[in-house]
Amino acid sequence: MGGIGIDIITFLVTFVTLFAVKDSATRIAIQIMSDYKLSKRRKDVHSTTTQSIEEETGDLGLSHNGPSIGTSGILHFIATKNKDLIAEMQELLMKTGIRHRNALEEFMKSKLISAIAIFFIALITLATNDFDIPLPLCMLISLIGAILGGHKLTNLNLQIMANRRKEAIEHGVPDLIDLLVICTESGLDLNRAIRRIARELRTSNPLLADELSLTSIELEMIPDHRQVFENLENRTDCLEIKTISKTLSQSIEYGSSLSTSLRDLAVESRQRRMLEAEARAAQAPTLLTLPMMFFIMPCLFIVMLGPVIVGMIKSFNS
């Protein structure tokens, strides 16, 4: 029983360690693959002078379809057979802020590497310990864990990164609305206002500043402003950003006063944040119930009843 307990602890420690370093490992793997692809592309540019400049500099993320994948190889074969899965991964990468051309291919490679790593870790853990499991069954369990873990855990890792990015963007939305009101009332057009706000928010909220810079570039390159704001909504996945984009789009389309709409939107944003703060404050007593039961109440019982119990034990012994 002691050996089984140690084996279970070893497996749990290995799993927790893998999940803890997965965020950093995914970032490092994507960066290494991106650097390798960039160096390879530079060599191709030097060797082939007739290559299109637009093809080589198309990593601005302006396409609303998100990162794409190559036209050959096993990854392209998998992409053609699982279009819904590829669309889901493209959307997840866009929400995470990873928009360069080879991001989807690198993400699929990271899934494969994660699956192989989980397979060997589970196989070594099951085969080298005293679980009394046959080797074919160990390989089957490891394969199932690799398939589920390599796919689900990698998606979960990127979903966590996307949620963190979404929260960081939401923190800068009130400043964005106030700056939009100031810029529009000062006489700047929408594109120049967005560009100026992106420059002002570069230090306080760089993620929101990057999105605004990309939106400013799209306003100059894409004639349909509704498509530009839709791209912004898809990249951020933030409710307040969606409200702002809808307000801007309707103001441009119907010719209404942009500053008045933004002022009303600023008031609504402050009221919404106040309601959210009040809701969180109302949930505090409920959330504190379990910590009080498991951490505070036992200590109080020990302090209050401890001397009484010790005195009763001494009286019975005497």
149-162 average pLDDT score: 84
Q: Which of 234, 85, 59 is nearest to 155 (CA)?
A: 85
| Per-residue pLDDT tens digits for 243-256 | 888 888 888 777 77
Global pTM reads: 0.63
Mean of all residue pLDDT scores within the chain: 77
List, for residues 101-153, the tens digit of each pLDDT value: 777 778 888 888 888 888 888 888 887 776 677 888 888 888 888 888 887 88
Q: Which helix (H) or strand (E) holds 188?
A: none
DSSP 65: T
pLDDT for residue 175 is more than 80: yes
Residue 266's pLDDT band (cuts 50, 70, 90): confident
CB distance 209 to 245 below 8 Å: no
pLDDT score at 270 = 80
Does the pLDDT at position 217 exceed 70?
A: yes
Tell whether the model's pLDDT for residue 230 goes beyond 60. yes
DSSP 237-276: --HHHHHHHHHHHHHHHHT--HHHHHHHHHHHHHHHHHHH
For residue 159, the tally of other CB atoms under 10 A from its CB is 13
Q: What per-residue confidence (pLDDT) applies to 59?
A: 40
pLDDT at 28: 65
**Could you give the 3-state DSSP secondary structure of residue 60?**
coil
30 pLDDT exceeds 70? no
Mean pLDDT over 225-229 rounds to: 87
Domain ranges of the chain: 2-40+67-161, 172-280
Residue 247's pLDDT is 84
pLDDT band at 16 (very low <50, low <70, confident <90, very high): low
Burial of 287 (0-12, 13-18, 19+ CB in 10 A): exposed
How many percent of the chain have pLDDT more than 70? 74
* pLDDT bucket at 269, cuts 50 / 70 / 90: confident
pLDDT by residue (tens digit) across 60-84? 344 444 555 554 455 656 666 667 7
